Amino acid sequence: MLKRKFTEYLKKWKSVKQKECLLVCGARQIGKTFTIEEFAKNNYESFVELNFEQFPALKSAFDGELTVAEMIKRISVHIPTARFIPHKTLIFLDEIQACPQARTSLKFWAIDDTYDVIASGSLLGVNYKSVSSFPVGYERQVNMYSLDFEEYLWAIGLSEDVIESLREHFMNRTKVDDSIHRKMMEYLREYMIVGGMPAVVNQFVDSHNFGIVHQEQEKIISAYLNDIAKYAEATERTKARNCFLSIPRQLAKENTKFQYSVVERNGTARKFVNALDWLRDAGIVSYCYNLSTLQFPLSAYVREDQFRIYMSDIGLLTFMYGFEMKAALMEDTLTGPAKGGIFENLMADILHKKKYPLYFYKKDDSSVEIEFVLTSGINPLPLEVKAKNGRTQSLNTVLTWSGVVEGYKFGNCNVGVEDKKITMPIYLAMFI
């Protein structure tokens, strides 16, 4: 069984909530249902689960009055074995995007506060128009993602002691032992191939077979394409599909700013922007925006028309390049712009799952380019990502600017400090 950080979030929610339901959002097949089911088994005397996609007839339980008494009565018609024990029951409304009235009902479960209610949905960002009334003030929304790198290390059995020792290297900026460094880079390359989708990780842990991993990832990509065909508006389906399939080509360019012309010759923002937003709202991709300047607050200097698109799971991006990419990554023989794009997406994967907004900085004349920018207090914190060892001309330049007190270079290198520049192996980015 995979250990997930989100379980601790659920425990905290249970202990502090007051008249609110929890709405868990995220892409398909990232482990939402399994994690919530395991949490329920270990923390409640009774568990009532309604999956609206698996059992569409359950939607009728939310037709008519949305009082708690009426909803319980109608649910019990469909699930005669359901037990509703006051203050000891978790009601789980799964795939809630398929039943908009169940989303509306969250307000009334919360006001009543007799039962804990968690809802989960995979396409909430694209199905919001179907909801008649949002339970504003009565639901707490939280995003869940596929396994991050640290969770992957737990899954393959790396000890907590080793992980904590790595954390100390990050915090104290001390060199990692060379043998441990080599092994961690090997684990990182595995993660770039396998990614964090639970079904894929389980297959790899059980078989250590990249061929089986590839087959499992193919199922997930097919499911995403089917979702586009089924749920995207008719005018956007082909556009969303083409944008999605263009991502590997976008990231294999020297200039990784999203270019509509890569999707279609003479493509324009006007034609494709809604399709891209659909992919983001479905949790499949994340946006990384260019900044006009490196100043605090970063959100005030976003150029919304200049952005990069990254896959929300690094393993799925690697799959889209083909099976040969897996061998090249594992053997560390990959070169060229595609390698840089994969390493950038890896960092985006790490930062996005830690809930950092994604920004980059690139001057109009291309003389300075920083792959990611965070903040340290009120100071911009540049992060340069290098797929291979080499000069960090842009980072060196930015570190001379007013307000930039330090910056990081992440790559296949060990820990080092040179004035304001901190060099780190990219696997230590999990501790940012």
Residue 274, pLDDT above cutoff 90: yes
Q: Which two tokens stand for residue 11?
A: 């425990």
What is the number of other CB atoms lying within 10 angstroms of the CB of residue 2? 17
For 284-395, where are the E strands, in sequence order?
285-291, 302-311, 359-362, 369-370, 372-376, 379-385
Domain stops at, among 83, 115, 143 = 143
Q: Tell whether 300 and 355 lie within a shared domain.
A: yes
What is the domain-level CATH number for residue 72?
3.40.50.300
Residue 1 lies inside a defined structural domain of this protein: no
Same domain? For 291 and 165 the reply is yes
pLDDT computed for residue 422 by the predictor: 97
Give the end of a domain, one of 128, 143, 158: 143
pLDDT at 95 over 90: yes
Q: Mind listing the pLDDT tens digit for each residue in 185-228?
A: 999 999 999 999 999 999 999 999 999 999 999 999 999 999 99
pLDDT at 127 over 70: no
Question: Contacts for 76-81 with beta carbons within 8 Å, 24 or more apart?
Answer: 78/50, 79/48, 79/50
Provide, rounded to the nearest whole percent, the portion of the chain with pLDDT above 70. Answer: 97
Instruction: Kindly state the average pLDDT of the residues 111-115.
Output: 97
The reply to whether 133 and 181 lie within a common domain is no
Q: Are 284 and 312 in contact (CB under 8 A)?
A: yes
**316, part of any domain:** yes
Question: How crowded is the C-beta side of 252, counted as CA atoms within 13 Å?
Answer: 14
Q: Does 32 map to a domain?
A: yes
Residues 213 and 337 in one domain: yes
Q: Which residues of 408-431 are buried (b: 16+ CB within 10 A; e: fewer)?
A: bbbbbbbbeeeeebbbbbbbbbbb
Q: What is the reported pLDDT for 134?
A: 67
Number of domains in the chain: 2
Q: pLDDT digits over 131-159, tens only? A: 556 677 899 999 999 999 999 999 999 99
Average pLDDT for 253-266: 87
Write the burial class of residue 284 (CB in 10 Å: 0-12 exposed, 13-18 middle, 19+ buried). Answer: buried
Round to the nearest angstrom and report the end-to-end CA distance of the chain: 26
Structural domain includes residue 129: yes
In this structure, are residues 372 and 347 in contact, taking their beta carbons and an 8 Å threshold?
yes
Same domain, 135 and 154: no
> What is the average pLDDT across 102-118?
96
8 Å CB contact between 239 and 327:
no
Q: To the nearest whole percent, how much of the chain has pLDDT over 90?
A: 88
Determine the pLDDT at residue 336.
Answer: 83
Q: Rounded mean pLDDT of the chain?
A: 94
For residues 174 and 299, membership in a common domain is answered with: yes
pLDDT at 129 over 60: no
C-alpha span between 279 and 70 (Å, rounded): 37
Please determine, for residue 165, whether its predicted confidence score (pLDDT) is greater than 70.
yes
Beta strand segments in 39-149, E: 46-51, 89-94, 116-121, 139-143
- Tell me, what's the pLDDT at 132? 54
Looking at residue 106, its pLDDT comes to 96
Q: pLDDT tens, 4-39?
A: 999 999 999 999 999 999 999 999 999 999 999 999
Which of 112, 143, 174 is where one domain is finished?
Answer: 143
- Note whether 40 and 189 are same-domain residues: no
Q: Is the pLDDT reported for residue 289 higher than 90?
A: yes
Domain span at residue 110 reads: 6-143
- Tens digits of per-residue pLDDT, 377-431? 999 999 999 987 777 899 999 999 989 999 999 999 999 999 999 999 999 999 9
